[in-house]
Amino acid sequence: MSKTTERFNVTVQTAHKTYKPGEPVPVGTDAGISKEEVIRLRENFGDWIGPDVNSIASAGVDMDELQLQIDSVTTERDQLQGEKDRLTAENARLEGEITQRGRDTKATRDVERLKAENTRLAGELSALQDAKLQLETDNGTLAGHISKLEADIATLTAPKT
């Protein structure tokens, strides 16, 4: 068996070690993976598309410094996530308190009482408007009768010739 290495887009675990995506994985050795496994990994996850580790090192990138920066950013992310979770829980607790207090306040009871009063008054207003319309109709009818009676009186009291 020849000793070669391959890189993959996925974490590869052998009997002896776990290789992160992009790390060289031995192929064809007792400590590595078989050529069939290489083919299966390439079919399922595609060819390695990341940068060449040697080109990064040759570009003057200090891998230790880069790892320290990654660790620092990861720590900060974890702290921010913890703070977000804490604030989310605090927000939910405060919303619950506001809701509970809103139910118990005199102002809330007054608003509910005023809504009921408005509904009752709206019903009364509608009834009064209906009555007004009926009275206007009756008034018109009575005015017609009065005009007729006045004409009758005028006819009866007119001098006879």
pLDDT score for 1: 43
The answer to whether residue 58 scores a pLDDT higher than 60 is no
pLDDT score for 103: 66
pLDDT score for 56: 56
Dihedral pair phi/psi, residue 12, rounded to 5°? -115, 130
* Predicted TM-score of the model (pTM): 0.33
Burial class from Cβ neighbours inside 10 Å (0-12, 13-18, 19+) for residue 8 reads buried
* Chain segment 122-139, per-residue pLDDT in tens: 999 999 999 999 999 999
State both tokens at 156: 């009866």
The answer to whether residue 141 scores a pLDDT higher than 70 is yes
Over range 38-50, report the average pLDDT.
86
| Percentage, residues of the chain above pLDDT 90 | 42
The answer to whether residue 106 scores a pLDDT higher than 50 is yes
Over range 55-82, report the average pLDDT.
81
The full set of domain ranges for the chain reads 4-61, 62-104, 109-161
**Average pLDDT across the chain, whole number:** 86
| Percentage, residues of the chain above pLDDT 70 | 89
Secondary structure (3-state) at 75: helix
pLDDT score for 110: 85
* Chain segment 11-20, per-residue pLDDT in tens: 888 888 888 8
Secondary structure (3-state) at 25: strand
Burial class from Cβ neighbours inside 10 Å (0-12, 13-18, 19+) for residue 46 reads exposed
The answer to whether residue 54 scores a pLDDT higher than 70 is no
The listed range with the strongest mean pLDDT (29-33, 43-47, 63-67, 140-144) is 140-144
Burial class from Cβ neighbours inside 10 Å (0-12, 13-18, 19+) for residue 22 reads middle
Q: Where are the alpha helices (DSSP H) in the chain?
A: 35-45, 53-58, 63-104, 106-157
